[in-house]
Amino acid sequence: MNVNMFKAGDDILQDVDQSCKDRLPAVEELPLPPSFTWGTATAAYQVEGGAFQDGKGKSIWDTFTHLDPSRTNGENGDIACDHYNRMAEDVVLMASYGVDVYRFSIAWARILPLGGRGDPINEKGIAFYNNLIDCLLEHNIEPVVTLYHWDVPQGLYDRYGAFLDTTEFRADFEHFARLCFSRFGDRVKRWITFNEPYIISIFGHHSGVLAPGRSSATGGDSRTEPWRVGHTIILAHTAAVQAYATDFQPTQKGDISIVLNGHYYEPWDAGSEEHRLAAQRRLEFYIGWFGDPIFLGKDYPAPMRAQLGSRLPEFTSEELDLLRRSAPINSFYGMNHYTTKYARALPDPPAEDDCTGNVEEGPTNSEGKTMGPLSGMSWLRVTPAGFRKLLNWVWDRYRRPIVVTENGCPCPGESQMTKEQALDDQFRIRYFGLYLDAISRAIYDDGVKVEGYYVWSLMDNFGTSIPLCPTTPSNVS
């Protein structure tokens, strides 16, 4: 791939008013490093289908999408893109695009149908991923593997609530990770433990709009459960990282890390210290929540401790020591990013179930200025300047090479377009061009180390029509 393919002029922005057009910078032909890798990404539940094929077990998403009444517009991933049965032709399609990398996730319940460390292995599921990896390598495409992209086996949720039991989940996830390292690690050289732990914690266990659908309204506790879930993820990630570093990395010579999602936040009133602090606090509640323990080997950000008090779990001295020893092993920062928002400090004390740092986020600032042109999703606006700032924020804070593991957007009115109109997706091309320009500027003007860019998504997958709350960072990513 080449950045030139993403060049486009202002006149291609369709269905966006002139005032928005005028605010978009021109896309310049800027270089990217010769070693820069180009890829695409998917998630198992959203593309594979074959939901109950060849011995695969049920995941929480299989359960969630079949609830009655439906919470997913009557749609499910039983078939999705049928990648499980059409894998070979999908790889040929990728090869025709010239991609360097395919980032995919392994469906935990496809290889361990019941999920647990004492449960039987499904060799047909193992065979599918072996075949996928081999097929990718035959086409000179590097496999980048995500171990967990939201689809915990229903068996573990039924046994002990999955993430709600830190000790049990940590042990089962390490077992699952070790199985993957042992079966696939001779060919897979880059591993991702969890995709978007913020979404697992908040959208799965606070608002309940994603699987497993827990909230105070559905029998959960939105005041405490998200923080328990996040704590579990951090410790499970660390266990898998330690297992890889100790028992597999010396011979397999790969690397491992995690993918964190996040918007960038600008202050609602740039002249106000209160709102500037709110923007920083929102980033810490969103990204620092996981980034500080994992990449810095330290406790949660101070603003989280100050607001949440006893609701935020404590790390034991042994766990903090493990975090400190594990931090250097996380050799890259996986970044999922789509848009930027304004952050406004709220005047009243935070609600007991607040998860934002007592911050209201939105597209408009105190002067009535809108952040950027609207895409096909109400929460996603074209904001490349914020992307560049987030690259800098992450680099300055964590000093890890960044891989943009997801980025993309839907075009305005896409669901009402004909096939021909949808294929002429000039708005999306323009979005890519601007965001790649932001990467170039971050690298060459700011000194940020960015190693690669993976487009979300390879295919128009299951999830694009699920009604999510406006702060959701991707559709569904």
The residues annotated with a catalytic role in the active site are 196, 406
59 beta partners: 153
Distance CA 456, CA 47 (A): 12
Torsion 295-284-102-194 (CA) sign: positive
Distance CA 409, CA 429 (A): 9
Return the DSSP state at 287. I
φ/ψ (deg, to 5) at 336: -100, 120
Return the DSSP state at 48. -
Tokens of 320: 């903090």
CA-to-CA separations, 176 to 114, 144, 165, in angstroms, rounded: 11, 17, 16
Distance CA 184, CA 129 (A): 8
Q: Under 8 Å CB-to-CB from 93, ≥6 apart: which residues?
A: 458
Tokens of 337: 């990013």
- How many angstroms from the chain centroid is the CA of residue 247? 27
User: Any alpha helices (H) in 363-418, and if so which ranges?
Assistant: 384-398
Contact between 141 and 87 (Cβ < 8 Å): no
402 beta partners: 333, 450
Side-by-side strand order, sheet with 264-267: 264-267, 340-345, 359-362
Which residue has tokens 């975090």? 323
Burial class (CB in 10 A: 0-12, 13-18, 19+), 269: middle
Tokens of 146: 């995500």
